[in-house]
Structure 1
Amino acid sequence: MIPLRLSELVRRSAPRYTSYPTAPQFGPAVGPQDYDGWLRGLKGESASASLYLHVPFCRSICHYCACTTKATRRDEPIIAYADRLRREIALVADRTGPLRVSHIHWGGGTPNLLPPDVFDQLVAELCDRFDVRPDAEHAIELDPRWVTRESARRLKASGVTRASLGVQDFDEGVQRAIGRPQPYSVVQSAISALRSAGVDGLNLDLIYGLPGQTMRSVRLTARLAAFLGPDRISLFGYAHVPWLRANQRLIDDAALPDSAARFDLAETARETLLEAGYVAVGIDHFAKPKDALRRAAQKGTLRRNFQGYTTDRSDVLIGFGPSAVGRLREGYVQNAADAAGWAGAIDAGRFATVKGRALTPEDRLRAEIIEKLMCGFEVDLGATAAAHGFKPAIFADDLEKLGKLAEQEFVRIDGWRVTIAKDAPALARIVASAFDAYLGAAARHSLVV
């Protein structure tokens, strides 16, 4: 048998598994009335909730971006959007009552384009409508180019405890190729402003697989990111999907690294971050040894959701804004991705849910198995199946799919226990996909590395 190389295995594509079933399996069978009923079922209960608020605006669209966002130079559309966001918050709260909230996350787009007084009003609305716990984590994604000392101070005053800054790459040539000019000094100033304001929880996002990247440039970017000393660093592979995102057509396909080069770039960045004292968490996060994310991984309480790896143990995730996804006990819901469709529904006083997925008992079982593999790289199929009222034999065919990986010791199968080799965390998505009952019917997915 010819030995399989890890660099060859990770050329495969697989879902990122920020949910199960994955988003391509969401459909119109779940709509506004279902969401309304699922929310009403939370009223008077003690379930903890996590809130996600999407802000779909940027000053300009970066070439690599695959987010649901649009460019605007004016604040008026953003202010009008915030007004509708308040109304959506009210719609949810009218059904659920004062849910206990343990996490708030602002994503985009560029959430820090919200004028400070408008952001304050939205936070006040959340606190008035829900029971936001005093120790709640309040996180926001920031474009460093729009962070000032005053805006940082206002974020802290509004209760923000964690900020994630989009860095991507510090190389000027790469920045030009992806349409995002952002000198190192800008990121350094943003971090200084946030720390001075008392926002101490900091994360930097890096991307490998971008046009023009080299091993040297990626190593330097990782070193510079580590030198800034954030608690966490995320390292994501660029997903080139120009058939879905027209702006990505501005990137020259010929300038993109091939799959072998992507693997080398990812490994170089990973090794650099480990050498700098960070500890790998999951497949694409790195944290300081005493960080809460690292502790959660050690304790086996690490979770994975649409924001990636998290310490969030909430029972419910509620999404606000276009394209936002929510998870309730009954299943997943997703808002209309187009801003006009979302706005029309909110203006009419109804939810903008256009698709979703009701969970079956087997979905819940497979979701837990996949999450365990993605977070801790091992799972006891027998114990997990029993906890859900199933017999482990349901996974017999799935284990056969892992046969070649097991023969070459990338995966160890001991009875019903599956463990991914310590030196092959990049395989987690492939191993998890063996337990995905819907994978054959799914859409195109990004490369594993």
Structure 2
Amino acid sequence: FSRLMAHLRRSTAVSDRAEIAVEIDPRRLSSEMCRALGSAGVTRASLGVQSFDPVVQTAINRLQSPEQTRAAVEGLRRAGVGGLNFDLIYGLPHQTVASAVETARLAAAMRPERFAVFGYAHVPSFKKHQRLIDEAALPDAATRHAQAEAIAETLEAAGYRRIGLDHFALPDDALAIAAATGRLRRNFQGYTTDPHQTLIGLGASAIGRTAEGYVQNHVPIGRHAQAIASGRLATAKGYRLTAEDKLRAAVIERLMCDFRADLGRLAAAHGFPLDTLVGDNRMLDRAIADGIVTLTNGLIELGGDRRFLVRVAAACFDAHLGETGRSHAKVA
């Protein structure tokens, strides 16, 4: 890791104010690695927690005690890694509302700056190791929602601010400040304070973003390595955004970040009439009729008790779902 970071610093102009973040498995984090991360200038680490319930941990084959996690936090803090994120998951096998709350309580006591709270996605056809999980032990939709809300209430009671759909941050964290001042951003990796449009992905299967669209590297490691060894970019495919794609992306981002969007202002800024977004939009009509959103003078909003349905609202403006009647951009 130290050699990789040194190479990146030699090869690129890394700003002194750059945020350098890594993902960490607390079960495998050594004191030596903590020191290496600190020496390399890492400013933020994301630690997978998921659940502290031993019954749940046994079911998903991931045994990780609160003590292990606390030791990782202390080691990273000592090494100078100033920003810590925890990932929690609800909807796991044998998970209950009570165990989800207890995990959130124990995790909040360690005072990471941020939390990301995700729902477990059971896709055994794609992730073969999930075939070992007893589907009968998975909570139903109502229980999943109850777990998510209970975690949110526990974190908010511990002093964290709710950010967007699934993030939480301490009030003085940059993410909370961005959300409070209307500067929160969201890209395909999640919520961020980064205002830049360019995101360069390195490595096999990595996805990158530019102002004009997306690119993805070869997924097979061999093909990726062969391209790099031949002095070529490892890009396997790309997608060029149309002007309308960019408008719709802006609307979806504001909904996901603020739970409201000024459709008229955004449409005008991109050179389109408001009707581009709301005309013949059957999904939007249904969302309004179902009380999920309100639309007044071009301003679309989700009520506080409907915010968990923000993805439904965002989908109303995704032309690639095919139901809004808009044409699709072409693959480059």
TM-score for the superposition, normalised by structure 1: 0.70
- Determine the C-alpha separation between the residues in 1 that align with 2:276 and 2:322: 18
Report the CA distance between 1:265 and its aligned residue.
1.2
Equivalent residue, structure 1, for 2:47: 165
CA distance in 2, matches of 1:271, 1:281: 13
Alignment partners' CA distance in 2, 1:403 and 1:299: 30
Alignment of 1:208-219 (within 5 A): 208-219=90-101
Preserved CA contact (<8 Å) 1:398 1:435: no
Q: 1: CA distance between counterparts of 2:135 and 2:221?
A: 29
The whole-number CA distance in structure 2 between the counterparts of 1:349 and 1:177 is 45
Answer yes or no: is the 8 Å Cα contact 1:398–1:434 preserved in 2.
Answer: no
Indicate the residue corresponding to 1:234 in structure 2.
116
Does the residue aligned with 2:117 lie in a helix, a strand or coil?
Answer: strand
Deviation at 1:399, TM superposition (A): 5.2
User: Is 1:345 equivalent to 2:227 in the alignment?
Assistant: yes
Where do 1:15-30 residues align within 5 Å? none
> Which residue number corresponds to residue 149 of structure 1?
31
1:224 is the counterpart of 2:224:
no
- 1:242-294 deviation line (CA, Å, top 9, x unaligned): 11111121212111111111111111111111111111001000011111000
Aligned to 1:336: 218
Q: Which residue in the other structure is 2:329 paired with? A: none
Quick check: 2:292–2:313 contact (8 Å CA) kept in 1? no
Identity of aligned residues (%): 52
Aligned twin of 2:190: 308
User: Residue 416 of structure 1 corresponds to which residue in structure 2?
Assistant: 298
Give the whole-Å Cα distance in 2 for the aligned partners of 1:237 and 1:344.
Answer: 37
- Distance, in Å, in 2 between the alignment partners of 1:253 and 1:148 is 35
Structure-1 separation of matches of 2:217 and 2:136: 35
SS in 1 for 2:6: helix
Shift of the alpha carbon at 1:400? 4.6
Q: Which moved more, 1:430-439 or 1:402-411?
A: 402-411
- Runs of 5+ consecutive residues of structure 1 not aligned to the other structure: 1-118, 442-449
Instruction: State the partner residue of 2:275.
Output: 393
For residues 397 and 348 of structure 1, what CA distance do their matches in structure 2 show?
Answer: 50
* SS, match of residue 201 in structure 2: strand
> 1:257 and 2:257 equivalent?
no
Deviations 1:313-348 (A, max 9, x none): 123100001111001122100112222222222222
1:360 is aligned to 242
Q: Secondary structure at the match of 2:216?
A: strand
The answer for the alignment partner of 1:286 in structure 2 is 168
1:378 aligns with 2:273: no
Opposite residue 203 of structure 1, the aligned amino acid is N
Q: Distance in 2 between matches of 1:330 and 1:373?
A: 21
Distance 1:398 1:149 in 2: 59
Among candidates 297, 315, 327, match of residue 209 of structure 2: 327
Q: Secondary structure at the match of 1:152?
A: helix
Residue 428 (structure 1) aligned with residue 310 (structure 2) = yes
What is the CA–CA distance in structure 2 between the aligned matches of 1:360 and 1:281, rounded to whole Å?
29
Give the Å deviation of 1:129: 1.6
Task: Kindly state the Cα deviation for residue 403 of structure 1 after the two structures are TM-superposed.
Answer: 3.4
Q: Check the 8 A contact 1:399/1:434 in 2, yes or no.
A: yes
Cα distance in 1 for residues equivalent to 2:295 and 2:193: 28
Contact 2:278/2:284 (<8 A) preserved: no
2:148 to 243, 247, 266: 266
Answer yes or no: is 1:243 the counterpart of 2:125: yes
Counterpart for residue 174 of structure 1: 56
Distance 2:222 2:133 in 1: 28
Q: 1:139 aligns with which of 21, 26, 37?
A: 21
Aligned to 2:65: 183
Q: Distance between the aligned counterparts of 1:292 and 1:349, measured in 2?
A: 39
Give, in angstroms, the shift of residue 166 of structure 1.
0.4
1:61-210 alignment to 2 at 5 Å? 119-210=1-92
* AA at the equivalent of 2:113: D
Distance (whole Å) between structure 2 residues aligned to residue 419 and residue 315 of structure 1: 25
Give the conservation status (yes or no) of the 8 Å contact 1:139–1:161: yes
Structure 1 stretches of 4+ with a deviation exceeding 2 A read 396-410
Kept after mapping to 2: 8 A contact 1:211/1:257? yes
Q: Letter of the 2:319 partner, please give it.
A: A
Higher RCO (CA < 8 A, seq sep 6+): 1
AA of the residue aligned to 1:309:
Y
Q: Report the counterpart of residue 319 of structure 2 in structure 1.
A: 437
Give a deviation string over 1:83-103, Cα, whole Å, max 9, x none.
xxxxxxxxxxxxxxxxxxxxx
- 1:308: how far off? 1.2
Separation (CA, whole Å) in 2 of partners of 1:257 and 1:360: 41
Provide the residue aligned with 2:327 in structure 1: none
Q: TM-score normalised to the size of structure 2?
A: 0.94
Query: What is the CA–CA distance in structure 2 between the aligned matches of 1:264 and 1:398, rounded to whole Å?
Result: 35
